[in-house]
A = this chain, B = another copy of it.
Amino acid sequence: MPETFEQDYTLQQLKQVTKALNSGQFVQVRRMLAETAPCDTALLLESSPHKIRTLLWQLVDPDIQGDILEELSEDVRLGIIAQMEPELIAAATEDMDDDDLGEVLRSLPEPVYQDVLSAMDTTDRQRATQALSYQERTAGALMNSDTVTIRPDVSLDVVLRYLRLKGELPDGTDDLYVVDKDNCFLGSLPLSTLLTNSPDKIVRDLMDLEKEAIPISMDESDVAQLFERHNWISAPVVDDNKHLLGRITIDDIVDVIREDAEHSLMSMAGLDDEEDTFAPVMKSSQRRSIWLGINLLTALLAAFVASFFEGTLDLLPILAVLNGIVPSMGGVAGSQTLTLVIRGIALGHINSANQRFILGKELAIGALNGLLWSVLIAGVIAIWQWDFKLGAVIAFAMFMNLLAAGIAGASVPLILKRLKIDPALAGSVVLTTVTDIVGIFAFLGTATWFLV
């Protein structure tokens, strides 16, 4: 990706700020930060090594700390909040949206969280406890209470006068919500409808009944899918009795979509979705070593399998030289299938109705590629080692392993999903274990039986 002018902009800032910091010109840095937009300061913090980040934060004007916290990615935000005084956290969260407020508070350790709550004024404390009452990763946790509601029996003219009286609308307002006297959601009145119809029309006759309200407990990924498929800008959220509780706006959905899309990438490498590129070394290495530990076990398992054939390897050391080829090819072919299936599941394309088809298709691809590459490798080895039997052996092993890779790559994620285990997280370990072991067995086994 080419660096954007925005990134160049931040890049220059970062250099200037770092320079100023190193030469101890804190006053200047403070001024520079005061002149920067919250979203740019956020990017600046996210792009700064841990030490510099901490220093920078202390130079940020407390009045805008809240706005910046809202823009920060979760992992970075938590790192910063962990170092803030409860009073300052309370102050910073004052004008935060409900959803961000909830996210911040959830991330605090119990004692700190209590201190923060008690440092808040009553209204904020109520808002906070309310926001916390909804489950994480649900519509409730994405929701804001800043809805503009109207009654069905009034005329557009009344609505227009009401809005002028109100003076301003919350960001991302594209619909007004029509509710009855019990605050039950009846429908929505798009601003465009309000603006393009004569003022004497009645709301009830114009309101949109198509757009369904989102149940408070719906999973955030499902909410995102609804937004994406229906091109919504905002949507109302209701409880089980259809009472209007708040609304979700597209900007929060964009974050969900990015996180979901990144989840597979990060998990497949054994990383946290939100892992901070600039986290302290200790923290990062701890997180990653879990994955390395699991991989060591599978590698040892593979070695253990190979050890059955130590006799064969003793007789034919060339096998040891070539032993890595078949497993490696199986690993690549398998992870291609795995990646595709994991993505298919995430997008909702793969389901119990068509998974048998997927299995068949990937099996066919495995067979096709198996044929192609086994012929090729046979030729290469036959010429390199001038040993046609050896060529035949490795060709057979290659074919078997690419077949196994196709089956495993397609079935492992589907099985894991049924077991309620995240395929993106566990898939690649299970897969490589299969392809390694099948590969070694197929190659050394056939060799033992055929060459020795």
Chain A residues engaging chain B, CB cutoff 8 angstroms = 1-7, 10-11, 14-15, 18, 39-40, 43, 46-49, 71, 160, 163-164, 166-169, 171-174, 191-192, 194-198, 218-219, 221-222, 225-231, 233, 250-251, 253-254, 257-258, 260-262, 264-266, 268-271, 275, 277-278, 281-282, 284-285, 288-289, 291-292, 295-296, 298-300, 302-303, 306-307, 310-311, 313-314, 317-325, 327-329, 332-333, 335-336, 338-341, 343-354, 357-358, 361, 364-365, 368-369, 372-373, 376-377, 380, 417, 436
Contacts and interface: CB of A to CB of B under 8 A. Distances in A.
A268 B271 CA distance: 15
A275 B365 CA distance: 14
B299 A195 contact: no
Given A169-B196, A196-B166, A353-B11, A324 B302 contact: yes
A442 B366 CA distance: 34
Contact of A229 (B43, B323, B353): B43
Contacts of A346: 1
A338 B191 CA distance: 47
A365 B285 contact: yes
Contact of A299 (B194, B225, B324, B350): B324
Nearest to A275: B340
Given A43-B348, A310-B317, A369-B285, A343 B270 contact: no
Residue of A226, A328, A380 with most partner-chain B CB within 10 A: A328
Given A6-B222, A323-B324, A296 B377 contact: yes
A192 to B, nearest CB: 4
A138 to B, nearest CB: 12
A265 B169 contact: no
B195 A354 contact: no
Contact of A231 (B15, B228, B251, B344): B251
Contacts of A358: 277-278
B317 A321 contact: no
A441 to B, nearest CB: 13
Contacts of A164: 195-198
A102 to B, nearest CB: 18
B354 A47 contact: yes
A383 to B, nearest CB: 12
Given A47-B354, A163-B195, A277-B350, 19 more contacts: A1-B345, A4-B222, A4-B225, A46-B347, A160-B195, A164-B195, A191-B191, A257-B258, A258-B261, A261-B262, A265-B268, A265-B339, A281-B365, A288-B369, A289-B369, A291-B332, A302-B328, A313-B317, A317-B317
Given A229-B39, A299-B325, A357 B49 contact: yes
Contact of A281 (B282, B361, B372): B361
A-B complex: 3 closest residue pairs judged by Cβ atoms: A320-B320, A261-B261, A4-B222
A254 B251 CA distance: 10
Contact of A289 (B1, B40, B372): B372
Contacts of A348: 3-4, 6-7, 10, 43, 47
A325 B300 contact: yes
A441 B207 CA distance: 72
A192 B234 CA distance: 15
A430 to B, nearest CB: 14
Contact of A320 (B265, B275, B319): B319
